[in-house]
Homo-oligomer: A and B are copies of this chain.
């Protein structure tokens, strides 16, 4: 978008800078989220903040230029893998675990999930895809009676969003603690079959 395909070809130095900015943005966004000061991205790229505006028009343009590499690809990989699982119980377990893993290791994912850029159709599309699978999972869980019947799509969504907020604004827990808590969540939402008597 924007500068990528328009008008005359870039001069060599401009192209080089754009590449460096992209690379820096991937690193910095991945590790510190999509709301990191652009100045930090610029510093990591070895250019000045103004150059980012020259090449990408601003934060949104830059985010859209790298969001795929940063999280979108991984997110859709998770969605695909989830869909490929037959057993509803496993499916839900995989999805929740994988999403929470992504949220832990890729702060940028939380910014996407929290819809920090509501004006970017591209970013919103990613969110929408995630909402869709929530529906499927809950439906599958109910159909197979492996999910508590009162558990709703909104509950699953809230699970993810609340975790995003906690990771974004709170202290990052140790990995082992985080994973253990993922387990408690899964326990809490799964239907306990009345032990096949």
Residues of A within 8 A of B (CB): 148, 150-152, 154-155, 158, 161-163, 165-166, 168-170, 173, 177, 180-181, 183-189, 192, 195
Contact = CB atoms under 8 A, between A and B. Distances in A.
Nearest to A114: B170
Contact of A188 (B154, B162, B185): B185
Instruction: Give this chain's copy count.
Output: 2
A189 B192 contact: no
A150 B95 CA distance: 23
A131 B158 CA distance: 26
Contacts of A155: 177, 180-181, 184
Contacts of A154: 177
A26 B105 CA distance: 41
A122 to B, nearest CB: 23
A189 B184 contact: yes
A170 B180 contact: no
A5 to B, nearest CB: 37
Contacts of A163: 162
Contacts of A177: 152, 154-155, 158
A151 B169 CA distance: 23
Q: Which 6 A-B pairs have the closest CB atoms?
A: A188-B188, A184-B188, A162-B166, A187-B188, A165-B170, A195-B195
